[in-house]
Chain A
Amino acid sequence: MDSSPAKVTLTRRGYWLSMAALVVAVPAALAAQTWGSIKDWRSQHLRQPVSGTLGQPIDYAGASWTVTRLTRLAGKGSTVFLAEFEALAADPKALGAVPCQVRLSDESGREWQPTLFADPVVTQQYPDVRNRSLCGGVAFAATEPGKPARMAASFLIPPGASSLTLSIALYSALPDYLSVSEPQT
């Protein structure tokens, strides 16, 4: 067995080089393996708000969006929050196939999903909203170019919920989403 100093030095150098390569190779392999999952997680969870104001149009996802009215209605043991909004798109049909998500959140981070006008108080006081779509899809598909797609969503919330923010997310525009807060009275 050759154990000359030169050979030993070479062996040691190879050993430490291998160790150093491991420090780089292991994280690189982990990153390569999980990159797809990280991308999926980012697309689902990382959101960037595009803040708008009630009644003011704002450009989002290739259309001009306006939240026209935010109304609180007294329901049975709860409050019904009605959000009405519209979008003027140059090509409504292009947005017709894009999934859309509407949410309402408060200052403590609680988040409500729409109830599809389940509370009769909405249809009694605002019968016209029943014919509107929730968001995206049918609303855009049924709209002629040059005319706004009118949409609405209702939420069941506790009467004490405050600092409410409506968010509208079109999947084609993620991570951006439209965010409009209820005016403070």
Chain B
Amino acid sequence: MMRLVVSALALLFAAAVLYGMQHTRPLYSDITSPIVSSGGMNKRVEASAFALSLDSARTARVLNVETFGKSKTYTSSGVWVVVEGEAEAKFETLGLTSGEWLSSSGVRYVLTDRVPATIEMMPGDAYQPGLPRRVLLVFEVPEDAVAGGTVVVARTKLLPLDDEIRIATSASGKDIEPAITIRRNDQGPPWTVLPQR
């Protein structure tokens, strides 16, 4: 009789454990999610394969782009967020093809595809070990997604368990400039964001 009770208890215990495991099982996307390194503005944030620092995050209602002597104006129903910084590969040449603006409510916005390719944004460059390089990221987001936004950068969105750097910007959403101009330079730094501050 005792043996029967013990067996029944063991069976119940096993069922409870299995039920618990089933309901606390992480999703595949959780298991393979990127390995995040976080930081703030003006700080070099290190991931295993690359490092990133951001020194400027500006917002504007209108974006002007000047390349080869021609200027084009881009309006938006939201606002433009122009982020500048520096990235460096640590051990091997790599590309940083994924840049996102993560709003405080958790919505992700990818880099704009409206800016012409003559302005080199972050995904278009190769990053060499030991050679830090300036990066430019431009997002078009709703006005309420600006405050408390975070810039998320990764080599690619497709590699599981790869590095991801998240930098919380200082954007408050209140200091929106009427217009910002990105000018392509023929010499020196590849671009300049105007008006300079």
Question: What residues of chain A lie closer than 8 Å to B92, measured between beta carbons?
Answer: 110-113
Q: Name the residue of chain B whose CB is nearest to the CB of A159.
A: B130
Question: What residues of chain B lie closer than 8 Å to A112, measured between beta carbons?
Answer: 92-93, 128-129
Chain A stretch 74-92: residues in CB contact (< 8 A) with chain B: 77-78
Choose one: A77, A109, A158; the contact of B91 (CB below 8 Å): A109
Contact-residue bracket for chain A: 10 to 19
Question: What residues of chain A lie closer than 8 Å to B93, measured between beta carbons?
Answer: 111-113
Contact-residue bracket for chain B: under 10
Question: What residues of chain B lie closer than 8 Å to A78, measured between beta carbons?
Answer: 128, 131
- Interface check B126, CB cutoff 8 A: yes
A160 to B93, alpha carbons, bound, how many Å? 17
- Report whether over half of chain A's contact residues are helix, strand or loop; otherwise say mixed: loop
Q: Name the residue of chain A whose CB is nearest to the CB of B92.
A: A111
Establish whether residues A156 and B91, one from each chain, have CB atoms under 8 Å apart when the complex forms.
no
Question: What residues of chain A lie closer than 8 Å to B128, measured between beta carbons?
Answer: 78, 112, 115, 155-157
A59 to chain B, nearest CB (A): 28
Establish whether residues A111 and B91, one from each chain, have CB atoms under 8 Å apart when the complex forms.
yes
Interface residues of B (CB under 8 A from A): 90-93, 126, 128-131
Cross-chain pairs A/B with CB under 8 angstroms, 13 sampled = A78-B131, A109-B91, A111-B92, A111-B93, A112-B93, A112-B129, A113-B92, A156-B128, A157-B130, A157-B131, A158-B131, A160-B130, A161-B130
